[in-house]
């Protein structure tokens, strides 16, 4: 069974300017919350002869689960941000007390949380809009054998930047697909220049 993953404080960017009174400690504590959750769940699964949660969830479900957990944990540790209580509202984190019942379908004050396995933070969004965008990049060990020796899932990159509509490109949509938007090359560079955490 893998050991509990821990956040490496040396990998944070001490020069990053964070919005909404966010602190590096908020990121570290939220990331550790996720590590602790997976360690506890996978220890329980291992004791019962079950595969790790990472092998049970489909990739999209895994990303959604981590995104929801990061949103909740960041809200818990942040001084000024809370979860957006509007179902599928934007952004995920909003300024506490700014909107009625801390609920807004499309607000302007807050931080949108995304998670991905794509190195460099490239991620699809439901639309191009001006926003503070925070992307957590994680990696999952699915190749080490035997499986019980696989490394715990960990975050390798975290970015946060203020982006505008002009930083996005619209993605082609299939006949049954949902229209999405992604940061174009210059937009991605803006995001990457504003890194919070980079694994060495």
> Domain residues of the chain, as ranges?
18-198
Per-residue H/E/C for 30-51: HHHHHHHHHHHHHHHHHHCCCC
Structure tokens at 161: 């930047």
Closest by CA to 68, choosing from 97, 106, 30, 22, is 30
**CATH classification (class only), 18-198:** alpha beta
In this predicted structure, what is the pLDDT of residue 44? 95
In this predicted structure, what is the pLDDT of residue 43? 94
Structure tokens at 155: 């975050």
On the question of pLDDT at 175 being above 70, the answer is: no
Structure tokens at 151: 């490394």
Tell me the per-residue pLDDT of 79-120, one tens digit each, with 9 for 90 and over.
999 999 999 999 999 999 999 999 999 999 999 999 999 999
Tell me the per-residue pLDDT of 110-147, one tens digit each, with 9 for 90 and over.
999 999 999 998 888 877 788 999 999 999 998 999 88
Enumerate the H helices of the chain as residue ranges. 24-47, 53-56, 59-77, 185-193
Q: How far is residue 141 from each of residues 105, 138, 149, measured CA to CA in Å?
A: 36, 10, 10
């Amino acid at each position: 069974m893998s050991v509990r993953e821990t956040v490496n404080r040396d990998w944070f960017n001490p020069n990053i300017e964070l919005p909404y009174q966010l602190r590096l400690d908020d990121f570290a504590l939220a990331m550790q919350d996720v590590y602790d959750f997976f360690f506890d769940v996978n220890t329980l699964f291992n004791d019962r002869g079950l595969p790790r949660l990472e092998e049970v969830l489909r990739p999209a479900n895994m990303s959604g689960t981590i995104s929801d957990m990061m949103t909740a944990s960041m809200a818990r540790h942040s001084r000024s941000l809370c979860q957006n209580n509007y179902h599928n509202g934007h952004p995920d984190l909003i300024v506490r007390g700014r909107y009625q019942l801390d609920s807004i379908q499309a607000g302007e004050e807050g931080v949108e949380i995304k998670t991905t396995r794509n190195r460099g933070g490239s991620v699809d969004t439901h639309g191009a809009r001006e926003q503070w965008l925070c992307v957590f990049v994680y990696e999952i060990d699915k190749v080490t054998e035997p499986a019980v020796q696989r490394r715990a899932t960990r975050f390798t990159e975290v970015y946060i930047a203020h982006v505008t509509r002009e930083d996005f490109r619209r993605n082609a949509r299939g006949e049954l697909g949902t229209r999405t938007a992604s940061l174009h090359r210059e937009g991605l560079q803006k995001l990457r220049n504003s890194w919070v955490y980079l694994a060495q």
